[in-house]
Amino acid sequence: MDIKVESGDITKSAAKAIIVNLFQGVTSPGGATGAVDKALDGGIAALIAEGEIKGKRGEVALVHSLGKLPTPRVLVAGLGKQDDFTIDVIRDVVGTALRRARATGAKTVATILHGAGIAGLDPEECAQAIAEGALMGGYRFRKYKNGGSVDGEEAGSDIESLTIVESDKGKAAAIKKGIERGQIMAQAANFTRDMANEPANELPPSALAARAQELAKDAGLEIEVWDEKKLTAAGMGALMGVGIGSVAPPRFIIMKYKGDPSSKKVLGLLGKGITFDSGGISIKPAAGMEAMKGDMSGAAAVLSTTWAIGKLKPKINLTCIVPTAENMPSGSATRPGDVVRAMNGKTIEVINTDAEGRLILADAICYANQEKLSPIIDVATLTGAMQIALGPGATGFFATTDEVANGLTEAGAKSGEQMWRMPLIGAYAEGLRSNVADIKNTGLRNGGAISAAEFLHFFVGDTEWAHIDMAGTDESDKEKGVWVKGSTGIPTRTLINFVLGWAAKK
C-alpha cells in the first residue's frame, strides 16, 4: 500500500472511499467531518439522530455519497469517548476503517489526519499512527491461497493507496516524516508476522537463516550464519541437543548494526527460534500443536527489529542473535535425563524436552556474554505459565535493572503493546538444582514463568538483562484494530522504540 500526504480539502477527494471521524456523544459533527456532513446535506447528522452512528470506538459506518461528493463512499470512524482518546485509538481506527473500505472493493482511500486537529496531538505522531494502523490492520497472510475469497473478500481486493489529506500545508513535512517512520515500524511488525505465520515445512532453521540474510542485505547489515559443524566446534551443546532429533539441523544467526563506531558498547537482542516445537520426546498433546510453527516468534521479532534499526539509523551498536532449531522426537533426539553442556561449560540435566527454548537461549546468552553485549534482551514464547498469568492483554518481562525495565514499559506504551514487569525471585532457582548436573531445565510447577527466567538468569550472570516472555501475546484469534488473526508481531515495535530510546539516552 502506497501511503502519501496531500494538501487540500477532504471533501474534494476523488478516492473511492474517504475516512472521517466522530467522538462518542457528539450530535453535531464539526471540523472535516462537519464539512463532509454539509456536503451530504446533513446525512451524517441525520444518521447520528437516528442512532445509527454513535461514534463508539471500533464502529465504522458506511455512508454512500450518491453523487454529492467526488468519492462514492464516506466511512465515519468512531473514536470513542474524548477523554479516552490516545495515539492507540488512531492506529485502531485506521486499521478497522481500512478493512471496512477493502470489503467494499475500494482501491484508493483518503483520510483526514486523525488526532491533530480535534485532540491537538503532534501531527508527526498522528501520521505515524495512521501508517502503522493502515499497514498492520490491512495485513493478510495469503501466500498459500490459490485465488478465490480470503475471509469473505475476493483475492486481489487489497487497497492500493492511502492519502492523508491535510488543509494546513505547514504540517506536510511533519506528516511525511511520520509516514516514513510508521511504514518502517509496521513493515517490521509484518515481517515478524510473515515468518511466524509460515508453516514449519517451509521455514526450517536453514530457511529462517535465509530470511535473515535477505533482511540484512536490504538494510545493509552484517550477518553470519553458523551451521551444525561450527556450533559443535563452539561448544553449543544445549542448542545442538535440542536440534539433534530433527532432520533439519540447527543454525545460529548473528546480525550486526554498527551505528556508533566511536563506542565499544553494544546492545544485544536475542530471539528464541524454534521453528517447530513438537515437545520432543516429552511430546505435546495433538490438539493445538499446529500453532507450534510460531514458536520462533521471538526470533522473528528481533530479526525484524534489527532490520528496522538498520533503516532508521540511530546512533547505537546492536547485535541480534538467533539460535534456531526444530524440536522433534526421533531415535537421535535428546531424552529426559540426558545431560547437555552449554557454551560456557555449564552442564544442564534435561528433565523435560519440551522446555527447550531456555536451552537454546542459554547458548545464545553465553555467546552474548562472550561478546560483552549489554544490556541483553531475550525474547521468547517461553512458558504456558506466562500465558495463564497475563493472558493476551499484556506481555510479561523480567529485568535486572529499573532502567531497562522502565525503558521497555515506556516503549510498549508508545507502541500500544502493554508490557508488564514480573519479579525475579532468586529462591525459585532452588527448584532448578540437579543431582547430576550444574542445573536442570525445569523447576517447580508453581511460578513456572519465574522459574524459567531464573534458569536464564543462571547463564546471564551479572550482565544487565531483560527477558521477554510473549507466550500470551504472540497470536490473535480475532480482528480488532491493528490486530488480525494469526501472528500479532508483538513485541517488534516495542523493541524498535526501546532501541531508539536507549540510543537517545546514551
- Catalytically annotated residues: 284, 358
Beta partners for 476?
486
SS3 content of the chain, % helix, strand, coil (to 5): 40, 20, 40
Report CA Rg, the chain.
24
Ramachandran class of 228: left when φ > 0, alpha when ψ lies in -120 to 50, beta otherwise: alpha
For residue 51, the one-letter residue type is G
Location of C-alpha cell 471521524: 21
Pairing outcome for strands 475-476 and 486-487: antiparallel
Count Cα neighbours of 28 within 13 Å in the Cβ-side half-sphere.
0
Measure the CA–CA gap between 321 and 267, rounded to whole angstroms: 11
The answer to whether 377 touches 268, Cβ cutoff 8 Å, is yes
| Alpha-carbon gap, residue 197 to 378, rounded angstroms | 21
Q: 418 near 393, Cβ under 8 Å?
A: yes
Q: Which residues on neighbouring strands pair with residue 78, listed in sequence order?
A: 22
